Amino acid sequence: MEKTDFTADEQPAYHETVSDSPKEDAYIQESEEGRVEHTLRTKRYLRKVDIRLLPLCATIYLLNFLDRGNIGNAKVLNSETGDDILQKTRMSAHQYSVALTVFGIAYGLFDIPSNLVMKRYVRPSRWLAFLAFGWGLLTLGFAWVHNFGTVTGLRFIIGMFEAGFFPGIIFLITFWYRPEERSLRIAIVNASATLAGAFGGCIAYGVGHLNGSGGLEGFRWLFIIEGCITVAAACLIVFTVPDWPARAKWLNEDEKRFAEERLQEYGGGYTQEHTTRQERLETILSRMPFHYITFLLDIIPLGSLAYFAPTIVNGLGYTSIKAQLMTVPPWVIGWVFSLFIAWSSDHFNARGWHVAAASTIGGIGFLTAGILPADAYAKRYGCLILATCGAFPSASPLAAWVTCNAPTVRSIGLVVGINNAMSGVGYIICVWLWKSSEAKTGYPTGNFTCAACSFGVVIGAIGLRLHYGRMNRMKVPDSLGQPREWLL
């Protein structure tokens, strides 16, 4: 027997060493060729699915986040002329926070039911289209709001429709990708939310110059333009979103079998089977709540940036219109950083360490902003950029991680629903942190709370990483007693 030059990860499939025997060498060579062919086949499959699925999902989620956060743009748009949404609806800052709060309540309440509907009763393409069409119409309705009651009612119903959209997309991704492939794909979709912040700022900057056109204020034009785009996109979702491999017309029969086999081996794929009592208990108890809490802590700074970035920038000495434009650079930098963190965390199977590193950067940004004098505008703007490099890049690996380590395949829908319901709780908390009375002091409550939450994410991510490492060493099976490798 000869000594091999293979590394541990490159060992032949059926032999640990290379033999001098011609028959054994031929068998090993055949195994090597088979593995190379399987790798090439996997790459071809992923490339085909990526092209069909990711740009579409990312674009739709961009619209989702755009319509969720545009009320933050409307809050300061044309405020110098008395034409922002607060002044035109005679809403106080407190009432504005209430309107955002009811969105969070609806988002938390309707998350799990929406996911169960998509899993058991309605195909993803139809359900996601229905949700997008609903919140698109309601966004259009904001063009005619005149009082606090109407704003609050619309925000609640928008929360109902938007609640199931992102978990629906994550659930859809589990139909197509193995666990170790999900973080980057989820990040590509989720990072579009970061781009939504950039696009939202650009659109609001342009729309601000339409103030008074057609007898409408700038914020009304903002809702009209973005609502129309979403309604149009919803009509395309039905015909363009691929539901799952078995229904994909652009996959041949051999590719469909290949897709199903690779997913069944690693935990994924479409199933309508109900979870067992043991699976539900482990989803609610056991280690999973630590995922939910860590995600919640990340959502608080993330939601703060989504809703209050224009307000924060406006507090740095910029006019309301220019403040919209100045939100763009932090979002773009956060987008690039999000993609890098997601790719690296998948590639090295190190989601916990990556989330901890990103959240540390974000926490430092918020903490420094809270310490700096309120008039240190340039330094505080730099802190805002650091903050966006923490909250958004952490969200994607956290959202993917919880699907990878769900108790079983059947419980993924419930796990994703509960995890994303934490977003609603996070949104409720974050809207009360950025107090208008603290504008002149640099919003210390918001900055220090978001810093604490960011460092809490660091602790949660490291704790989960160490726990899963221990589970792997102890060879802990899943809820059904099946062997499992828990991703880190």
- Residues in contact with 148: Cβ distance below 8 Å, sequence separation at least 6, in sequence order: 89, 90, 91, 95, 98, 99
Q: Please report the pLDDT score of residue 4 as a whole number.
A: 37
Residue 25: its pLDDT value, please? 53
The model's pTM is 0.77
The size of the chain, in residues, is 488
Angle between helix 218-240 and helix 124-141 axes, rounded to 10 deg: 170
Long-range contacts of residues 473-482, Cβ cutoff 8 Å, at least 24 apart: 478/407, 478/408, 479/276, 479/278, 479/279, 479/282, 479/407, 479/408, 479/411, 480/276, 480/278, 480/279, 480/408, 482/408
Domain residue spans in the chain? 52-243+278-473
In the prediction, which pLDDT does 403 show? 80
Q: How far apart are CA 148 and CA 97, in angstroms?
A: 11
H helices of 77-121, in order, are 85-88, 93-109, 111-120
Along the 488 residues of the chain, how does pLDDT read in single tens digits? 333 333 333 333 333 334 455 555 554 555 677 777 778 888 888 999 898 888 888 888 888 888 887 888 888 888 888 888 899 999 998 898 899 899 889 988 888 788 788 877 888 889 999 999 999 999 999 889 999 999 999 999 999 998 888 888 887 888 888 877 877 788 788 777 777 767 777 787 788 888 888 888 888 998 999 899 999 999 888 888 888 888 888 888 888 888 888 877 654 555 555 666 667 777 777 788 999 999 999 999 988 887 677 677 766 666 656 666 777 788 888 888 888 888 888 888 899 999 999 999 999 999 999 999 888 888 888 888 899 888 888 988 898 888 888 887 777 777 888 888 888 888 889 888 888 888 888 889 999 999 999 999 999 999 999 999 999 999 988 777 778 888 88
Residue 479 in contact with residue 279, Cβ under 8 Å? yes
User: Nearest Cα to 454, choosing from 426, 435, 415?
Assistant: 426
Give the CB-side neighbour count of residue 82, counting CA atoms within 13 A.
Answer: 1
Whether the Cβ atoms of residue 188 and residue 338 lie closer than 8 Å to each other: no
Question: Which of 416, 404, 340 is CA-nearest to residue 169?
Answer: 416
52-243+278-473 homologous superfamily: MFS general substrate transporter like domains (1.20.1250.20)
Distance between CA 445 and CA 435 in Å, rounded? Answer: 8
In sequence order, the 6+-apart residues with CB closer than 8 A to the CB of 129 are 234, 235, 237, 238, 241
3-state DSSP call for residue 77?
Answer: coil
Query: What is the distance between the alpha carbons of residues 70 and 476, in angstroms, rounded to a whole number?
Result: 46
Q: Which residues pair with 18 in a beta bridge?
A: 2
- Distance separating alpha carbons of residues 253 and 232, to the nearest angstrom: 33
Q: How far is CA 222 from CA 113, 210, 215, 319, in A?
A: 31, 9, 14, 18
